[in-house]
Structure 1
Amino acid sequence: MRIESFDLLDSKDKFHQKALHWSGQFDEISFFNSNGAPDEWGRFESVLAVKALHSFCADDDVLDQLQQFLVKHQCEFIPGFLSYDLKNEIENLHTSATDKLGFPAAYFFVPTITVRWAANQVHIQADDPVAVYQSICGTVIPQINANPEIKIHSRWTKEEYFAAFDKVQQHIQRGDIYEVNLCQEFFAENADINPIEVYLKLNTVSPTPFSNFFKVGHHFIMSASPERFLAKRQGKLISQPIKGTAKRGVTAYEDEEIVSRMLQSQKEIAENVMIVDLVRNDLTRSALPGTVEATRLFEIQSFKQVHQMISTITCIQNPKVSNMDVFRHTFPAGSMTGAPKIAAMRICDQIEASKRGVYAGSIGYFDTVRDEFDFNVVIRSLLYNQREHYLSFHTGGAVTNQALVEQEYQECLLKASALLYALDTVVQ
C-alpha cells in the first residue's frame, strides 16, 4: 500500500460527509472525529478506515486472542471496540439481562484503506490513493430524508427507576459500596434509520472529542462520546474520567454561574474524587512504582449540551506488564461502574434491566508499530442492529448517599437529549 497527500477542495465538514457516504459501500467502517478539540494526547484530527483486510471477532477468551491478533499484524491503525461485558471474563461476574443488539464482545480490523485529515490536507493509505481521493471527491451527498417516525421507549418507567435508585442507596447505606453508576436503556423496535445521516446529525448537535461512527456488518455505533478511557503514548498511560454533569446555560453569564456552582458542589467534587482514586488504584497495578499521579483535577470542559468535570491521571507503564494486562487491570472505565469497582459492577448486574453490551465499553485503536493505543468510553451513543431493526441507547449517572433521585433521573434525560434530537423524536 502507498500513502499520498491531497489538498482539501471542500471544507472539512463537507469532505467528512462525502467520505462517510462513500464508505457506506463497505462492511467495515471506523471513523473518529476529534471535532477540533485541543488534546495533547490525540494523534488524529479525524481518521476514516474501511474494508477489513484482516479482522478479529470474539466472545470468549477475548484478551488473549486479541493479543495474538495484534502481534501478528504490524499496523499503525487497528480500530475496534470492547464490550462492557468483557468484565465477565476479567472478573468473576455474570450478566443475565436482556440483550437484543447482539454485538460481539470485541471486534477489530486491519483496514485496506485509511484516510487521515490534517490541517487542509488528507493523507490516504491504499493500493491506489488517487482513485480513492477521486472517488470520495466525486461522491454526491444525498438529500437528507426525514426518518420514519421512531418510537423510543424507556426500559424502566420513572417509578421503576426510582425503585432501582432506592435499592442502590440501600447498598450504600449498608456499606457494600460508596457509589454506583446506575444506567437505564431507551430503545426502539421496528426502527428504520440511515445510520450515516443520523451520526452526522448527532455530530452536528453534539460535537465531542471522541466522536465515532463504527460499522461491522449489520451492527452500527453512532457515538458522541466526550470521554477518554485510556491512552498510551511513549510508555505513558493516560486516563481522563468524567464525573460531574450540568446543563449549559442560556447566556455566558449563566454558564459562568453554573460552572462556579459545579466547582463548589460537595457532591460533584466527592464523586470526582472517588473516580480519581479508583483510576489511580487501577493504574497502580500496571505502573512503575511511584509514577501514578493526578496531573489535573476537576477541570470543567463545556460541550453544546452540558458542562463536564474531568480529571487526568497518568503513570509510566511497567515494561513487565503487557498492554492486554493493562486492560485487564483497568477495564471497564471506572466512571461507568462505581466504587469499589467489582462490588459496584455486581450490583449493577443485579439491578439493571438490560445488558449494557457495547455501551460503557470502549472504542479505539491500537498502533502496533509504535506500541500505543487510544480508547474512548462508549457513552452518549446510539447502537443499532439493522437486520433486527433494533435501536438502543443507555444513559446513567452516579448514585451516592447524597444523591437525589429526581435530579439523577433528570440528568439521565439531559444526557439523552442530543441522541433524541438526532433521531427527531422523544421518549414515548
Structure 2
Amino acid sequence: MKVIIKDTDKFKQQALQWASGFDVCCCLDSNGYADKYSRFDLLIAAGRKAELQVISQDAFEKLSAFKNQHPGWLLGFLTYDLKNETEQLGSGNFDGLHFPQLHFFEPEHLLIVKGNQLEIQSPEAEVVLAAIEAQVVREEHIAPNINLQSRFDRDEYIDVVNRIKEHIIRGDVYVTNFCQEFYADAAQIDPLAAFIKLNQISPNPFAAFYKQNNQYIICASPERFMAKRDKTLISQPIKGTAKIAGNAQDDALIMQQLQSSPKEQQENVMVVDLVRNDLTRSAKPGTVVTEELFGIYSFRQVHQMISTVTCQIANNLGPVEAIRNTFPMGSMTGAPKVNSMRLMEHYERSKRGVYSGAVGYFSPDGDFDFNVVIRSMLYNAGRQYLSFQVGSAITYNADAGAEYEECLLKASAIMEVLEPHPL
C-alpha cells in the first residue's frame, strides 16, 4: 500500500508513537541527510513475526541461519562485545544494562518513507494507517528525576589517557578509542520522548530508536558502520571532531582547520588503513578503494571528518560473514585492532555492550545498512538503569585535557535532553 503524506513531521511522531506500543520496534531516521547510498528517509518496523536473541556463543552463526530462514526484512542490533567471538578476547567490566549480544526480528508491519511517499508493507495496511492517523501526539516528559554520574572524574580520565600514551610510546598500539560511561541508577524516563527530543536537538543521518521489551536504544549517530549495495560494500569511518560556531565565517575557518589538522588527519588515516585491511577479508582482490579521504561534514553540534572506503564483495560471501569480517568497526577500536581492544578492556570501567555496536537492517534483496552506536542513550526500564558512553581517539599527540573536553562536546546533546538535571 502506497500513500502520500501531507505532514511528514506529524506523521513521523504519530508512527513512532504507534510503533512504540509494540513489544518490539525499530525506527531508522536519516533526518534529511541522504547520500548516494541511502534507500529511504525513514523506516519503522513494528511487531515481530520471528525473532532471534543471542545471550552468548555462536552469535554470527545463529544470525546467518536466522537470516536464511527469514529472507525478508530483518531489523536488529549487534553489540561491541561480539568482538569476543571474532577474536580471542573477553569482557569483564561492569554491565548495568544486561542487553543480549544481538537481537534481530522479522517485523509484522513495515513503513518506508521517501520524501512524502509512504509505503506500508503489512497484511493489514489500511488498519495500520488508520491506527497511526488516530494517534494523538503526547507531550514530551523525559527526565523528572535523573542523578547522572560518571565512572571517571576529569583527573582520573587524564591520568588514564597519559598511561595509554605510555603504551603508544612503547609501541603496543598506535591509536586507540578510550571510552567512559555516564550513568544513572533508579532512572525513570520516557524513552520515546527522549528519542524525539534528542532527534530534534541533534538530527543525524543514522538516528535509531529501538525497543526490545523493556530495553531501549536511543541513538543520534552520525556514522555509518557498513552498508551493502548490490555488489559494493561501503564503510564510512569518522575520526575528527570540531565544535559548530554558529556563524558561516567562523565555521568555514573551523572546517578548514579540522581538515588540515595533522593530529586529526593522523587519527583518520590510521582508521582508514584499518578499515581497508578489514575489508580485504570480504573483497574481491584489488577492489578496495578509498573513495574520499578527510571529507568534512557538518551536523547540528559538530563538524566531522569522514572518509569513505569501498570494495566489491567477494563471490559467494554472505552478508553476515561480510559484517563479521569487519566487526567491531575500526573507528571505535584502534590499531593494531586486537591490541587496542584488549588494552581498552583493561582501562575502561564499563562494558560497552550496544555502545560501539551497530543498529540496522537486512533487506530482501540482500543489501544491508548498519550504523555505529555513538551519541546514544541506552536504557533498561526494568532495572531503571540509564547509560551513555563517549570516547575519543588517543594518539601520541593527544592532549588529555582536550580529549576530555571533546567527550563532553559529544555528550552535549544527550546532556541537554536530560535537563533540568545535567551533570
Partner of 2:380: 385
Structural mapping, 1:163-202, within 5 Å: 163-202=159-198
Partner of 1:29: 25
For residue 47 of structure 2, give the secondary structure of its aligned residue in structure 1: strand
CA contact (8 A) 2:142 2:190 kept: no
Aligned positions, number: 422
Partner of 2:265: 269
RMSD: 1.0
Residue in structure 2 matching 1:7, options 4, 9, 23: 4
Counterpart check, 1:79 vs 2:87: no
Partner of 2:336: 340
C-alpha deviation, 1:426, in angstroms: 5.3
C-alpha deviation, 1:322, in angstroms: 2.8
Partner of 2:125: 129
Partner of 1:88: 84
Task: Tell me the TM-score normalised to structure 2 length.
Answer: 0.98
Task: Tell me the TM-score normalised to structure 1 length.
Answer: 0.97
Residue in structure 2 matching 1:395, options 383, 390, 413: 390
Give runs of ≥4 in structure 1 deviating > 4 Å.
Answer: none
Residue in structure 2 matching 1:406, options 395, 401, 404: 401
Counterpart check, 1:374 vs 2:369: yes
C-alpha deviation, 1:120, in angstroms: 1.5
2:294 maps to amino acid: F
**Alpha-carbon distance in 1 for matches of 2:217, 2:306:** 24
Partner of 1:224: 220
Q: Deviations over 1:320-349 (max 9, x none)?
A: 433232222200010000101000000001
Q: Deviations over 1:43-66 (max 9, x none)?
A: 111010010100000022100011
Residue in structure 2 matching 1:153, options 132, 149, 155: 149
2:352 maps to amino acid: R
Bigger mean CA offset, 146-155 vs 189-198: 146-155
Provide structure 1 residue ranges, at least 5 long, that are not aligned to the other structure: none
**Alpha-carbon distance in 2 for matches of 1:56, 1:196:** 23
Residue in structure 1 matching 2:208, options 212, 219, 231: 212
CA contact (8 A) 2:288 2:312 kept: yes
2:384 maps to amino acid: H
Partner of 2:62: 65
Partner of 1:98: 94
CA contact (8 A) 1:153 1:427 kept: no
**Alpha-carbon distance in 2 for matches of 1:55, 1:339:** 35
C-alpha deviation, 1:12, in angstroms: 1.2
Residue in structure 2 matching 1:328, options 324, 331, 344: 324
Identical positions, percent: 46
**Alpha-carbon distance in 1 for matches of 2:142, 2:354:** 27
Residue in structure 1 matching 2:233, options 234, 237, 242: 237
CA contact (8 A) 2:145 2:421 kept: no
CA contact (8 A) 1:85 1:356 kept: yes
For residue 52 of structure 1, give the secondary structure of its aligned residue in structure 2: coil
Counterpart check, 1:17 vs 2:4: no
Q: Deviations over 1:108-139 (max 9, x none)?
A: 00000011112222111111111110110110
Partner of 1:417: 412
For residue 321 of structure 1, give the secondary structure of its aligned residue in structure 2: coil
CA contact (8 A) 1:229 1:333 kept: yes
